[in-house]
Amino acid sequence: MIFKRNEHNGSVFHYFEEKNIVMGFTEIDSEAEDIGDYFGIEKIVQLDQVHGNKIYFSNEVKGYPEGDGLILNEKNVMTVIRTADCVPLFFRSIDGQVAGVIHIGWRGLHSKIGINLLETLKEKGTDTKDLLFFTGPAIEGKCYIVQQDVVDKFSDFSFGDKIFEKTPKGYSMEVTRGIELCLIEQGIPEENIKHSGICTFCNKNFPSYRRGDREKRIFNFVMMR
Ligand SMILES: [Zn+2]
- Give me ligand 1 centre to Cα 6, in Å: 24
- Give me ligand 1 centre to Cα 193, in Å: 20
Q: Does domain 12-211+220-224 have CATH number 3.60.140.10?
A: yes
**Structure confidence at residue 225 (pLDDT):** 86
> Could you give the CA distance from residue 62 to residue 205 in angstroms, rounded to a whole number?
32
- Give me ligand 1 centre to Cα 131, in Å: 28
pLDDT tens-place string over residues 52-87: 999 999 999 999 999 999 999 999 999 999 999 999
- Give me ligand 1 centre to Cα 17, in Å: 27
- Give me ligand 1 centre to Cα 183, in Å: 23
> Could you give the CA distance from residue 110 to residue 99 in angstroms, rounded to a whole number?
23
- Give me ligand 1 centre to Cα 87, in Å: 13
> Could you give the CA distance from residue 210 to residue 190 in angstroms, rounded to a whole number?
29
- This prediction's pTM: 0.97
- Give me ligand 1 centre to Cα 150, in Å: 19
- Give me ligand 1 centre to Cα 208, in Å: 10
**Structure confidence at residue 195 (pLDDT):** 97
Low-confidence residues of the chain: pLDDT under 70? none
**Structure confidence at residue 1 (pLDDT):** 82
> Could you give the CA distance from residue 158 to residue 182 in angstroms, rounded to a whole number?
9
**Structure confidence at residue 82 (pLDDT):** 98
- Give me ligand 1 centre to Cα 122, in Å: 35
- Give me ligand 1 centre to Cα 209, in Å: 12
- Give me ligand 1 centre to Cα 142, in Å: 6
- Give me ligand 1 centre to Cα 105, in Å: 15
- Give me ligand 1 centre to Cα 102, in Å: 21
> Could you give the CA distance from residue 119 to residue 114 in angstroms, rounded to a whole number?
9
Which residues lie closer than 8 Å to 65 by C-beta, 6 or more apart?
47, 48, 54, 56
Q: Which residues fall inside 5 Å of ion ligand 1, going by CB?
A: 140, 143, 199, 201-202
**Domain chopping of the chain, boundaries:** 12-211+220-224
- Give me ligand 1 centre to Cα 144, in Å: 8
Which residues lie closer than 8 Å to 57 by C-beta, 6 or more apart?
70, 71, 73
Count of other CB atoms within 10 angstroms of residue 184: 14
